[in-house]
Amino acid sequence: MLVSSPRILLLLFGIGLGTLLSALADPPRDPVVGVQQLRVGMTAAQVMEQFGPPQHVCRQILLHRSIDLWHYGPPLNLQLKFECQRGKKPSLRSWKLTQNLFP
């Protein structure tokens, strides 16, 4: 039992240190500032870098293109519309603030 106690303490210390470093590396962002920085024509990668992965994604497939709707829940309550043309990267076409559609 005495041999495993230092191992457990070291493991807990490592987990705590990792959690602290990840929190410092990615500080929480102000959602209002992020919405103000949205611009038509931004790529999906740029938006994901700013807001992270969406809570829900809906895709409508059309002839030679598709439309993606990204939904972000609270505190943003944001819906983003991307147009994805064949052979091109998805680009932001519009966005709107919504009520919480997915609790």
pTM for the whole structure: 0.64
Inter-residue contact 82 to 44 (CB < 8 Å)? yes
The CATH number covering residue 85 comes to: 3.30.1450.10
Residue 56 lies in a domain: yes
Instruction: Specify if 10 maps to a domain.
Output: no
Which region holds residue 91: left if phi is over 0, alpha if psi is between -120 and 50, else beta?
beta
Report yes or no on 15 lying in a domain. no
Q: Using one digit for the tens of pLDDT, what is the confidence trace for 2-48?
A: 445 777 766 667 776 666 555 555 544 555 667 888 999 999 999 99
What is the tally of structural domains in the chain? Answer: 1
**Domain span at residue 56?**
30-97
Residue 47 belongs to some domain of the structure: yes
Residue 34 lies in a domain: yes
pLDDT digits (tens, 9 = 90+) for 43-83: 999 999 988 899 999 999 999 899 999 998 887 888 999 99
Task: Identify whether 3 is part of a domain.
Answer: no
